Amino acid sequence: MDKLLFDPNGWASIRLGINMPTRVERTVRRSNCESQLVGEQTGEFYDVILYFGIIDILQDYDISKKLEHAYKSMQYDPTSISAVDPKQYSKRFRDFIFRVFAEDT
């Protein structure tokens, strides 16, 4: 795992949800120091599983969003901007999820 993490050439092989090596080092905080945010390193490492959630703020695709889309489309790739119609947004989101998460085999 160290070779994969510390070799920039290996970073391309790391895929979220497929082979994302993760480990943590245990730290210990001094009991008499409330302001210590990060504890002292112990050299004890553990493999961990990360859990996370997706937060998305849904908004009405009203006239203001349509105008925003029209204006930004003149400056950027229309498929890459955030203000897109709901069907395109849904497809882009699903494609992203299917690309980054692998099905369990």
- The predicted-structure confidence for 32-85, as pLDDT tens digits, reads as follows 766 666 778 888 888 877 666 777 777 888 999 999 999 999 999 988 888 888
Calculated CA dihedral for residues 26, 50, 4, 15, nearest 10 degrees:
-170
The answer on pLDDT for 96 being more than 70 is: yes
Q: Could you tell me if 46 and 39 are in contact, meaning their C-beta atoms sit under 8 angstroms apart?
A: no
13, amino acid identity: S
Q: How confident is the model at residue 12 (pLDDT cuts 50, 70, 90)?
A: low
Amino acid symbol at 57: I
- DSSP calls for 56-93: -------HHHHHHHHHHHTTS-TTTSS---HHHHHHHH
Q: Which residues lie below 8 Å from residue 15, measured CB to CB, with a gap of 6+?
A: 100, 102
pLDDT value at residue 76: 92
pTM over 0.75: no
The reported pLDDT for the residue numbered 22 is 76
Domain limits, the chain: 2-47, 63-100
